[in-house]
Chains A and B, each alone.
Chain A
Amino acid sequence: MENKEVIVRTDKLSKSFSVGGKQQHVIKNLDLEIYKGDFTVIVGSSGAGKSTLLYMLSGMDKPSLGKVNYYGVDITDMNDDKLAVFRRKHCGFVFQQIHLVDSMSVMDNVISTGMLIGQKQKELKAKATLLFDKMGISEELTCKFPAQISGGEAQRAAVVRALINDPDIVFADEPTGALNSAGVRAVLDVLTDINNAGQSVVMVTHDIKSVFRGNRIIYLQDGGIMGECDPGRYVSGDKQRHEKIRKFLEDMGW
């Protein structure tokens, strides 16, 4: 593990919200490193602070205290627009609610994201077509609006959008939460495939099938890391690996 390259490092990261005039500490003094090439899964019970942590790691939300360093650069104090530029260059996102822009076709959702970093439209179209093809999305579907395709198809399209700018990390927030079982499998396979191809992935989930896909599993509880497990790369049908993860989660009280 010591040879792995650190992409994101947090330093005493904290996040608190004011609820009814009372401060609620969602993340508390959290130190964490995310490594290049890993499929990091952050798991925990509801309200553990998983999504909050993910959005702070990706520069979508700002911590109340502490720092987030990205390849050694502190992104905590960047302003809103600088963070947007940071995200377009370095991060890809897959959300639970899919969050494709309703008013744009599937292809336009992807191309507009690519154009943000100055990629040429022609090259983008070729790259997107290739990615869509890999994700099993036909050309016909790419011309449709998000509301006209299924949830699974839309989420795979969202993965294409996340990958179009060759990000350093893909952040996935419960990407299977709104899908049926066939959709869940398809999306997890896509994420596993891209990770196997070298893409770093950080995924937040509370779905056991999703947890199995990670090579590094972090258990979050009450705003802190309660435990960590390194079961190795995902191999379909590897019962020993699955058992190890199951045991880890049991130990964590899940």
Chain B
Amino acid sequence: MVKLVKSGFRKDKAILSVFLLIIVISVFILHSGIFASMYSRLYDEYAHDQELADGFAYTDADHEFVESVLAKNKDIVSYAVQDMLEIRSIKYTTSRNSKEKTDIWSIQRFGDNTGCKNLGFEEYDGSVSGRRIYITSFTAAVKKLHTGDKININTVNGKLEYTVAGVFQYLLMDNLYLVDGDSFDELAELSGSRVMSIAYLYAKDGADTGDVMQNVKTALQNGGRFYIDGYSSEEYRSYYTVIVNVLAGFMAVFALIIMMICMIMIVFTINNNISRDIVNIGVLRAAGYTVRQIRAALTAEYVIVGAVGAMAGIVLSYVLFPVMDKGFIREICGIIWKKQLYPAISFAVLAVVVIFMIGTAYFSTKKIKDLHPATALRFGLKSNSFKKNHFPLSNTRGELNLLLALKSSMQNMGQNVTIFFIITAVAFVTMIAGLLYYNTKVDITYYQRMIQGDSPDIYIYPEDNSYDSAYSLIEKIRSINGVSQAYGLDSVTASTGGVEVTLIYVTDPDYVYCGIYEGEIMRKDNEVVVGSSVAAKLGVGVGDEIAVEYGDKSRRYLVTGLQQNVLSSRLYMTDKAAQEIGIDTVYNSLRVRVKNADARKVDDVIDGIESHLTGITRIRNNYRELRSNDYAPVLAVAIGVFVMIILSIATVILVIRLLIKTVFIRKEREFGIKKAVGFTSKQLRYQLALSLMPTTLAASVLGAVLGYFLLNPLFTLILGGYGIRDANLLLQPLLILITAAAVTGMVFVFCFLMSGRMKKMSAYKLIQE
């Protein structure tokens, strides 16, 4: 038995090595995908280790008032109130990037309570002199900063240079910066920003942190119209992990697709090998080996390859995942990967692969189950059942190579079925990649809206954020050449039926995209559009009424539509409707859309606004930002697209390589005869590649069409838990054609190139072999 297995390995080592590679790749992706899905768990572990607060709220109320509110809340076990600077448009450059950027920063004094017992420094340099700044690992990853790097902050009253003295993992605010006490006061003074109070809360065991946060915010609001914001650690966990979970979902889907391809190829290869070795099998049977022993030996080859490949893939995942974490995942989720063994996951993956190999290989060998040795020795398994002579050359007009390729294609139905399934999967993945590329690099509107909601081309930050001033500025902006829409959109935290919501009020509902999947946009002052998760919690639908509370006021609104986007509990209403419950409808920013926007037109409109309008503190080119790889959702998709394209190409190469190897084994004699009578190697390679085309073309079109129709359901499935009910990414029909042509072309080219061995073999040798 061992000898049989050894001999099988010797004979099939080329094909087995290809399978080994496929399994290493698929297990690596599957194992890494599972790792990627573990960031939520990792967040909880870090939160536990760091004794992370259950939430935080910040407000412009003073410490005393905040503490008095927190002290009254019976669900809060402990709290800490600290100073915090929130600079909403801080301008800075770094020693890694000299281009000035503008962000929102939350700044605390180093040493103050930040809602965790230890900061978990990843990098720390106590020797840094001058102004020191400590940044989160998220910030460090996105801005590519390390200890010793400089950050130069430009305030209206002067410049300040900071040196990064530490990088720490912080799980409550990705934009928290810590500076020394003196620097904090200096920055507050120079930036002119007001020092706010930030409260870190620890809730009782079993208390709903969402409710606790809501109660605190309501109590703060009731105390006097303060600016209030804050989040629970659960909300931050979702915020940190949503994109990486999408990536994990896609990786798992790809790994399964590759596994499926591998399974089909194993069935195909084992069947071919049995046909090739049928006489040997007959000899073995005649010598006394039982069918079970022979099947076990054949199965063992693939099980060993599966087990070795799986182990290699798992090891590779352990080695490369920390590199991937540092390279790009941390930019997406901000959580530092813990390098440790995850035996349960690894053993489960290994077991799945081994079981899958045993099942597939054993199933594939069933054709020899009832094989009699004499039958094998005399007739083999060849049936020569060429019952129909497809495209007879005497009656069918056409080019010789094309006709022979078509004949060959029609006579290899088993091979066609294999190729059909594999190429369908490859085209599906390629189509998804193409559509994702289209939705992030060509027209990001719908993707952006799905992730974040309304998305303009330009943000304008007015000096005066009052309601009247905003309307006046909007009118002026609309007169700028190239502007298609100008409108205001801002938000406050409110509640409805005990659920905390982000209440978004707008100047012009018709300009705002809010992802309505049922009903219609609100237009009247008593109407509201409700987010999917809020509607689910309240059990309301279109036509129902809900009571919205803000501060001490409450009013009922008619639900006209339900909306969706990732991670939001939202209400949309007109600003006049918002005023009905006492909201001071200020607009900290205004939004602009450009006619037939492209990068140049957006730049032109910005130039126009800058040169014609005053009373503006800052203009943000959102069009360019969204298309930049600095934007995490785009980065995640870019990585996904890259992986999918590489996977598609690698799969096609491996499958064609495997196919050619089996075709060479099966058709060596035929190629030899054809070469002998005068077919050139080029003709035979051309025929071989061409013979795959009918099936490949059909499968490519099917795969592309499936990708076209399943992209949005797939996104709905993956993002369903984050509030997406009906994903509506842009679908470009032209991509079906491009994908089908690209995949078909790729198969043809690889098949032609990889059958180059034909050139090296003389007709004599091919016949002899």
Q: Is B340's CB within 8 Å of the partner chain A?
A: no
The CA of A169 and the CA of B404, in the complex, are separated in Å by: 26
CB distance from A87 to the nearest CB of B (A): 5
Contact with A along B640-672 (1 / 0, CB 8 A): 000000000000000000000000000001101
Nearest residue (CB) in B for A171 is B676
Residues of A within 8 Å of B759, CB to CB, are 80-81
Partner of A95, one of B389, B674, B767: B767
> What 0/1 pattern do residues 67 to 91 of A give for CB contact below 8 A with B?
0000000000000110011011101
Q: Is there contact, CB below 8 Å, between B677 and A104?
A: no
Of B97-105, B212-220, B679-687, which binds chain A?
B679-687
Stretch at the interface among A55-63, A198-206, A212-220: A55-63
* A88–B676 alpha-carbon span in the complex (Å): 8
Contact status A116-B669, CB under 8 Å: no
Query: Does B673 make an interface contact (CB < 8 A)?
Result: yes
In the bound assembly, the distance between CA atoms of A87 and B763 in angstroms comes to 11
Q: Chain B's nearest CB lies how many Å from the CB of A94? A: 11
Least Cβ distance of B665 to chain A in Å? 15
Q: Does B472 contact A (CB under 8 A)?
A: no
Q: Are B673 and A108 in contact (CB under 8 A)?
A: no
Question: Taking the complex as formed, is B709 at the interface, i.e. its CB lies under 8 A from any CB of chain A?
Answer: no
**A window 97-156: CB within 8 A of B:** 97, 99-105, 107-108, 111-113, 115-117, 121, 124-125, 128, 143, 145, 147-148
B620 at the A interface (CB under 8 A)? no
Q: Mark B191-229, 1 if CB is under 8 A from A, else 0.
A: 000000000000000000000000000000000000000
Contact A103 B677 (CB under 8 A): no
Would you call B384 and A84 a contact (CB within 8 A)? no
Quick check: is A93 within 8 A (CB to CB) of the other chain?
yes
Interface residues of B in 609-664 (CB under 8 A from A): none
| Category for how many chain A residues contact B | 35 or more
Of all chain B residues, the one with the shortest Cβ separation from A99 is B673
User: Is there an interface contact between B676 and A121, defined as CB atoms closer than 8 Å?
Assistant: no
Interface centre among B676, B678, B683, B763 (most CB of A within 10 A): B678
How many whole Å from B650's CB to the nearest CB in chain A? 30
Contact B386 A145 (CB under 8 A): yes
Q: Choose among B674, B682, B683, B762 the residue that contacts A101 (Cβ–Cβ < 8 A).
A: B674
Interface centre among B389, B408, B673, B759 (most CB of A within 10 A): B673
Contacts of A121 in B (CB 8 A): 393-394, 396-397
Q: Flag if B394 contacts A111 (CB, 8 Å).
A: yes
Q: Give Cα A84–Cα B753 distance, bound, in whole angstroms.
A: 20
- A125 in contact with B394 (CB, 8 Å): yes
* Structural contact, A116 and B681, CB atoms closer than 8 A: no
Q: Is the CB of B392 within 8 A of A116?
A: no
Q: Which residues of A lie under 8 Å from residue B386 when comparing CB positions? A: 102-103, 145, 147
Contact of B393 among A61, A91, A107 (CB under 8 A): A107
Residues of A within 8 A of B389 (CB): 104-105, 108, 143, 145
- When distances are taken between beta carbons in the complex, the residues of chain A under 8 Å from B680 are 80-81, 84-85
What is the CB-to-nearest-CB distance from A126 to chain B, in angstroms, rounded to a whole number? 10
- Write out the residue numbers on chain A whose beta carbons fall within 8 Å of the beta carbon of B407: 103-104, 108
Query: Is there contact, CB below 8 Å, between B678 and A102?
Result: no
Minimum Cβ distance to chain A for residue B676 (Å) = 5
Minimum Cβ distance to chain A for residue B760 (Å): 8
Query: Are A103 and B670 also in contact (CB < 8 A) when A60-B762, A81-B681, A116-B679 are?
Result: yes
Q: What would 22 A/B residue contacts be, using CB atoms closer than 8 Å?
A: A61-B762, A84-B678, A84-B683, A84-B763, A85-B680, A87-B677, A88-B677, A88-B679, A93-B676, A99-B676, A102-B384, A112-B404, A113-B677, A115-B393, A116-B400, A116-B679, A121-B394, A121-B397, A128-B394, A143-B392, A145-B386, A148-B384
User: What are the 5 A-B residue pairs with the smallest beta carbon separation, nearest first?
Assistant: A88-B678, A81-B680, A111-B393, A147-B384, A61-B764
